[in-house]
């Protein structure tokens, strides 16, 4: 499989999906000799959640005694992501059933955000949404660069969506 060259050496943190097919260490071929060895955060969908922001805040502030230790953050969403097949409502229903919640309570689970992509969202659109969440966080350095990418596992290529 062809690998994309890691496109931005300033990116010291990468957010990607937990799907084994969307592993930045593989598609960008990070190694001990790479120009950077970024912190890689992975979750369902590679979505920017409150916990993702917490980790960026810690790395970009606390770890550097208040100085920005993160030059840039890369957000990667991948084609064929399993979360594209489920709505948040459907995930909530399934979890509500598992927990044995009665009909009235399932709505509480259904109201949670599981990071599903809305049906009409393109990969580029969801990447931009998550980039904007990072950029809007008041606890992150103003000069933190946020770079968005899509990843296509069938070609092994990443494509830059934009930079904020």
Restricting to residues 42-81, which ones interact with Zn ion according to CB under 5 A? 81
Nearer to Zn ion, 73 or 81 (CB): 81
Residue 81 in contact with residue 92, Cβ under 8 Å? Answer: no
Report in angstroms how near the CB of residue 45 gets to Zn ion at its nearest: 5
Nearer to Zn ion, 17 or 161 (CB): 17
Report in angstroms how near the CB of residue 81 gets to Zn ion at its nearest: 3
Q: Is residue 17 at the binding interface for Zn ion, with CB under 5 A as the rule?
A: yes
Residue 143: CB atoms within 10 A of its CB come to 9
Annotated binding residue at 78?
Answer: yes
Nearer to Zn ion, 84 or 106 (CB): 84
Q: Is residue 130 at the binding interface for Zn ion, with CB under 5 A as the rule?
A: no
Question: Would you tell me which residues interact with Zn ion (CB under 5 A)?
Answer: 17, 19, 81
Residue numbering of the annotated binding site for Zn(2+): 17, 19, 78, 81
């Amino acid at each position: 499989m062809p690998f994309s060259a890691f496109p931005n050496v300033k990116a010291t943190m990468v957010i990607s999906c937990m799907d084994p097919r969307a592993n930045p260490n593989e598609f960008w071929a990070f190694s001990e000799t790479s120009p950077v060895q970024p912190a890689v955060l992975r979750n369902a969908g590679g979505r920017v959640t409150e916990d993702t922001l917490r980790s960026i805040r810690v790395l970009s502030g606390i770890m550097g005694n208040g100085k920005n230790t993160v030059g840039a953050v890369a957000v990667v969403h991948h084609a064929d992501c399993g979360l594209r097949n489920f709505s948040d409502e459907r995930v909530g229903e399934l979890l509500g059933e598992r927990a044995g919640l009665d009909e009235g309570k399932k709505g509480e689970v259904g109201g949670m955000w599981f990071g599903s992509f809305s049906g009409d969202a393109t990969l580029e659109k969801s990447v931009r949404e998550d980039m904007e969440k990072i950029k809007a966080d008041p606890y992150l350095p103003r000069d933190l660069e946020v770079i968005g990418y899509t990843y296509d596992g069938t070609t092994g290529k990443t494509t830059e969506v934009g930079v904020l």
